[in-house]
Structure 1
């Protein structure tokens, strides 16, 4: 891991390479800028905060609009910090004015995952089909497969198999939702987890 002071120097040097191009920085900076970025701790600006703040001013970047969790690190019991952030320069904000960073729930790590999106350039994609193994244990699974598989598909045997598997998507999606819409249940549990984390 690059020492913080060395990282600030590298960022300052890289600014001269970027010049007037859009630039975005995101990740764990292992430092905060302000005392209110700690849930508990010093009420004054420490040397580490001052050095990070000076670097941000020097390279002329600022936080991208964000939503989600304010504190992004929670390893120490009772202490939360904003160590992760996404920042851009003036050219970045000019090129991507609608960019937003979402800090999501702590699920498998002590840092909040972050996702930067660019709404004006995002294109809708077809929803991918996902097969859930638990469906094989439901009483309706084999009849649904049998109804599709008994249909005649003319052509090469591999073409027939692929075609039948495509035809199975619709009945299997329906069967999945008949189990009580597990996607919705998962989202509700995530929202409840987020509410608890924010309350902390």
Structure 2
């Protein structure tokens, strides 16, 4: 069973009314929706914003008040009457940077981000023939809690007789719970407890070779690397993690059209574009930040590879990631493929490439040369 939310935007605001809403003004309606099958509660806000900046700020402040009280997944949708970026308006130079900055500030304060949506990018046009103007005035915004707990898809449909595109949200009750993937964050090294945490959990008693020991240490450290262990609790935590959630939801591909134009959805049909930098989750930043502790083991592991010429599966695994090239990718060609290797694999590959480069001109004819940098293609 699915739950469908639909709102039609236009000159007179939402076309439907909610008489039993706890918060309601001339320009917004806030209510709680209960899914009858699952009893899951959602916070929903429908807005139709003022035209002037001063009046819009009144609504922004009301949304801030709502954000401080909601405890359930929150979705906010409607006609916001302002764009967020310069590329969200076409055919008009009517742009006010102060309005965009104001809007972005209040979205950050409320921890609201755009729900990825298919369909129309520009959700409004003036329908005036030669003087046609387009803009993204309508949005479907969600919180990090919605991202974590709710499986949903969104789209903006064709405008029809209205000058605004209807917004459609489908909430799936049988959403898949994604396993949280470990990712090292460079900001962890700023904690005064970072090095001591790494040192206390860097064990030396593993049986096996040096490469095996290195990756077992990384695996053990991964289990202990939680944000609260590193005491990274400060005033910017909410803002910081809302930015992470915004990036995650922006890079998530919810649906795609195949080569026959058929819409595909679900995990088996769509790849998530937001994954760790390498299959083990450790970027090169970790090894640089903790070089005094892990540097010796890393170097010994590299020596072992060049001594025996073997790589275990843990070091040789590669993560394939589809990265959206557009805000709303609809076709496979609008996705870029990246291969994310472990830092150890990158270092070994770089050493091999540098060594081979010195003898390439002895085993390959000069006619195969390409590029002024001396590399063979």
Q: What TM-score does the superposition give when structure 1 sets the normalisation length?
A: 0.55
Distance across 2 between alignment mates of 1:65 and 1:5:
25
Task: Count residues with an aligned counterpart.
Answer: 120
CA-CA distance at 1:107 after TM superposition? 1.1
2-structure distance, mates of 1:75, 1:82: 12
Aligned: 1:11 with 2:57 = no
Q: Which protein has the bigger helix share?
A: 1
1: CA distance, partners of 2:154 / 2:168: 6
Conserved? CA contact 1:37–1:82, under 8 Å: yes
Aligned mate of 1:103, from 156, 179, 187: 156
- Hey, what does 1:26 align to over in structure 2? 77
Distance 1:101 1:34, change over 3 A: same
Cα distance, 1:45–1:24 mapped onto 2, change above 3 Å: same
Alpha-carbon deviation of 1:99?
1.4
Cα displacement (A) at 1:93 = 0.7
Q: SS of the counterpart of 2:125?
A: coil
Decide which of 102, 110, 113 is 1:51's aligned counterpart.
Answer: 102
Offset at residue 41 of structure 1 (A): 3.2
| 2:137 corresponding residue in structure 1 | 83
Specify whether residues 41 and 56 from structure 1 end up closer, same or farther in structure 2 by C-alpha distance, changes over 3 A only.
same
Task: Give 1:72's aligned residue.
Answer: 123
1:144-183 matched pairs, under 5 angstroms: none
Query: What is the alpha-carbon distance in structure 1 between the residues aligned to residue 139 and residue 85 of structure 2?
Result: 13
Pairwise CA distance, 1:42: 3.9
Task: Indicate which of 124, 146, 162 corresponds to 1:92.
Answer: 146
Counterpart CA distance in 2 for 1:16 and 1:63 is: 19
Larger CA deviation: 22-31 vs 1-10: 1-10
Give the equivalent residue in structure 2 for 1:189: none
Give distance in 2, aligned partners of 1:109 and 1:45.
25
Deviations 1:67-99 (A, max 9, x none): 000000012632100000101101011111x31
In the alignment, is the contact (CA less than 8 A) between 1:64 and 1:99 conserved in 2?
A: no
Compare relative contact order (CA 8 Å, sep 6+) and give the higher one, 1 or 2: 1
Give 1:60 shift: 0.5
The structure where strand makes up a greater share of residues is: 2
Q: Secondary structure at the match of 1:48?
A: helix
Instruction: Say which SS state the counterpart of residue 14 (structure 1) adopts.
Output: helix
Q: SS at 1:110's partner residue?
A: coil
Gaps of 5+ in 2: 1-25, 28-54, 176-377
Tell me the residue number matched to 2:293.
none
Which is further off, 102-111 or 41-50?
Answer: 41-50
Cα RMSD, aligned residues only: 2.0
How far did residue 56 of structure 1 move? 0.6
User: 2-side partners of 1:90 and 1:14: how far apart?
Assistant: 15
Partner residue, 1:142: none
TM-score, structure 2 as length reference: 0.30
